[in-house]
Amino acid sequence: MRTTAINSSGSPGDEDILLETLTYALLLLGALAGGFVSGLAGFGTALMALGIWLYVLPPSLAVPLVLICSVIAQTSTLPSMWKSFDLSLVWPFLIGGLIGVPLGTMLIASADPKVFKLSVGILILVFSSALYLNKRPLAIKFGGRLADGAIGFAGGILGGLAGLSGPLPILWANIRGWNKHERRGIFQLFNFTVLATALVLQTASGLVELKVVWLAMVAFPGTLIGAWAGARVYHALNDKHFGDVVLGLLFLSGLTLVWNSLGAL
């Protein structure tokens, strides 16, 4: 990864100045795109931002930056969404997720990242495609709150392991047949809680470098503007269009994971 623009010192030449300008432009572009998707769907900052940021930042900086910007974007849109959330649906996911995050964090050292990404990517591709092609509304009530908590637990493990807290609860919410506001409440509150917890654990473990704070300050305006714009679009969508957007983002996420795990990126 080329990070000269972030680390350069002394008197940079024209090439260094150009690289630095490109770096900050891509940093703001990624923040804007990630914030927009988060404001629109309640998840997806990593899906949009990482693909841009990894061109100019190493994963050690890009991943914690995604966590910070995810928390910022979701916090900024909470006030306008809060009244529409059904908190009685969310709490089993939150409890399961908080239990799963530390376990996922501990698995980082032993999990094979390529196998993990390939498995999760295929799972997301299969289920998102099946849900999109299914034209009959689903409203499966199997397992009740216990099953919801189990899905939250699995999502917490994935969040602690690789920042992938969203896919399983999102797929499950679609299978449950919940409406737009019910699904959005689960996506946003669950991802906010799990990713904030993962950020705290990573910081406490010394995995977050001081440079990330500076990068977050640079990305802050783009994240807020993108989240605001995404939230405006969210309020304009009906249940069907919102569901199509969510499944489309999930499919793109799964495709990216499979492509990455096969070494094509």
Specify the pLDDT at position 96: 95
Q: Distances from the Cα of 101 to the Cαs of 67, 159, 160, 193, in angstroms?
A: 14, 6, 4, 10
Per-residue pLDDT at 98: 94
pLDDT (0 to 100) of residue 17: 65
Give the alpha-carbon dihedral of 54, 68, 119, 95, to 10 degrees.
180
How many structural domains compose the chain?
1
Q: Which amino acid would we find at residue 202?
A: Q
Residue 92 one-letter amino acid: P
pLDDT value for 10: 47
Q: Give the pLDDT of residue 4.
A: 44
Domain span including residue 139: 4-261
- What pLDDT does 168 receive? 86
For 154-157, which contacts have Cβ atoms below 8 Å and span 24 or more sequence positions? 154/96, 154/100, 155/93, 155/96, 155/97, 155/100, 155/190, 155/194, 156/96, 156/97, 156/98, 156/99, 156/100, 156/101, 156/103, 156/104, 156/194, 157/100, 157/101, 157/103, 157/104, 157/107
Using CA atoms of 206, 208, 211, 215 in order, give the dihedral in degrees to the nearest 10: -170
Residue whose pair of structure tokens reads 């900024």 in the numeric block? 76
For the chain (length 265 residues), average pLDDT per consecutive 10?
Answer: 46 60 88 91 81 80 87 88 83 94 80 75 82 76 92 89 79 86 86 88 81 91 94 89 85 80 64
- Residue whose tokens read 């964090």: 105
What pLDDT sits at residue 220? 94
pTM of this prediction? 0.76
SS3 2: coil
